[in-house]
Amino acid sequence: MLNPADAALAAQLPQGVLRDAAPAYVEEPRGRIRGLAGLIAAPRDADECAAVIRACAAARVPVVPRGGGTGLVGGQLVADGPAPLVLSLERMTAIRDVWPEEGVLIAESGATLHEARQAAAAVGRQFPLSLASQGSAQIGGVLSTNAGGVNVLRYGNARALCLGVEAVLPNGEVMRDLKRLRKDNTGYDLRDLLIGAEGTLGIITAASLVLAPVPAETGVAMMVVDSPAAALSLLALAQARMAGGVTAFELISGQGLRFLDAAFPDMRQPFDSRPDWLVLIEVGLPAGLSADAALEGLFTAGAEAALVRDGVIAQSGQQAADLWALREHIPLANRHVGAIASHDISLPLSEVAHFVADAGEAIAARGDMRINCFGHLGDGNLHYNLFPAKGRRREEYDDIRRDLSHLIHEMVVARGGSFSAEHGVGRLKAADLARWGDPARLAAMRAIKGALDPLGIMNPGAVLV
């Protein structure tokens, strides 16, 4: 039903919008899929973007929006079917305006997350969304995938940080809704519908984003706990004491620490032995309360409640950065080992400890493997990754890889969890959504897709199969 992007379409596009083909337009970070691109277009503004979409609609050509290309579920490329027009936001990179006292900036979709964060910092504010890929991830992609990261616990995900969007809808109309309002109850929440729709309902071209005040006092600590259950009790204790001041609460496993030892032997770790479980805690507090004192108070209370065994509180910005570096190097250490399968899951907080115990047993029963379970514990979001036993190669697990992932996802869903906490559905998890999604919800999603994109040109094959 759809046609490839070809010379006939090219002739219908606005002058100067086409780009030369390049590998960067059809790659994804893990190098597993290579995408197709019949044409590559990079509009300069929303109106030019709308003209491209109208031309694609008239020619029934699929459109694949392209941001930084850092997505992990294949939402940014299509590997089969008619070659699409790849719509790159690379020329829409402006930070259009910043209102420091208001705590708002308007960024175009091609600006990187790093650039948005820099623009906020330049006026003494912060854009609190923070991801490993922020140097290349773009605002449009960040919103389209409702990206998460390490500060969701306090500031919410991308959705929570967006007040308004400018977007090109599949019919080629521009929705101009770049409001800077904290409250606006005037009709359906199309902003949140476009956020997280992964480019299947339109293209976000600019957004008004929330800037948060920079806390007067910040501090970072690492604490040794016996179990994920103890970590969660420590989190509840921290939240009760800090009045919402816990900015990040990350779980690190002993397996992750040993992977770090192997991959980065020069990296200093704060504890001589490798404890089974650690948490990395960051707090941001009001003026008048030292973060050091608050973290010491938490440590003491945690120790009294038999939740914490050992701990270290960063005494400088450098030490804080060093503790964060450990957490941030875990995905690199994982890549060094080579995962059999990785999972971006979330669970209700009270199910996390049960899941970790049960899943550990279930995996052990399937074969000899190493598990590195780590991530954003404060959000119930774990990266639950499986690795070969020492001395074995990942290829030896090829025949059970799919079953392992299915097992993990089944266990997560059975406990009310999600098979995609922050990475989205893309194409790699579209079948999972079809399998585990609520039927009435899926039917409503399809009805909405059909209503807004009756030709099915917007990122076909992503999210809905």
E strand or H helix at 240: helix 228-242
How far are the Cα atoms of 100, 109, 292, 405 from residue 152, in angstroms, in the given order? 22, 21, 23, 25
| Stretch of residues binding a second copy (CB under 8 A), selected from 24-32, 306-314, 321-329, 419-427 | 419-427
Nearer to a second copy, 28 or 379 (CB): 379
Nearer to a second copy, 21 or 214 (CB): 214
Provide the edge-to-edge strand list for the sheet that holds 39-41: 39-41, 85-88, 63-66
Strand, coil or helix: 441: helix
Nearer to a second copy, 241 or 258 (CB): 241
348 is an interface residue for a second copy by CB under 8 A: yes
165-184 positions binding a second copy, by CB under 8 A = 169, 171, 173-177, 179-184
Place of tokens 């598990």: 371
362-391 positions binding a second copy, by CB under 8 A = 376, 378-381
Contacts of 205 (CB under 8 A, 6+ apart): 45, 46, 49, 89, 92, 108, 109, 140, 166, 167, 168, 174
Q: Which of 191, 184, 193 is nearest to 208 (CA)?
A: 191
47-106 positions binding a second copy, by CB under 8 A = 99, 101-104
CA distance 198 to 192: 12
131 is an interface residue for a second copy by CB under 8 A: no
Nearer to a second copy, 311 or 378 (CB): 378
425 is an interface residue for a second copy by CB under 8 A: yes
Least Cβ distance, residue 25 to a second copy (angstroms): 24
Q: Give the count of alpha carbons within 13 A of 465, CB side only.
A: 14
Nearer to a second copy, 83 or 463 (CB): 463
193 is an interface residue for a second copy by CB under 8 A: yes
213 is an interface residue for a second copy by CB under 8 A: yes
Place of tokens 């809905």: 464
Of the candidate residues 21, 122, 189, 360, the single one contacting a second copy (CB under 8 A):
189
Least Cβ distance, residue 377 to a second copy (angstroms): 11
Of the candidate residues 105, 330, 421, 458, the single one contacting a second copy (CB under 8 A):
421
183 burial (CB, 10 Å; 0-12 / 13-18 / 19+) is: exposed
227-246 positions binding a second copy, by CB under 8 A = 232-233, 236, 239-245
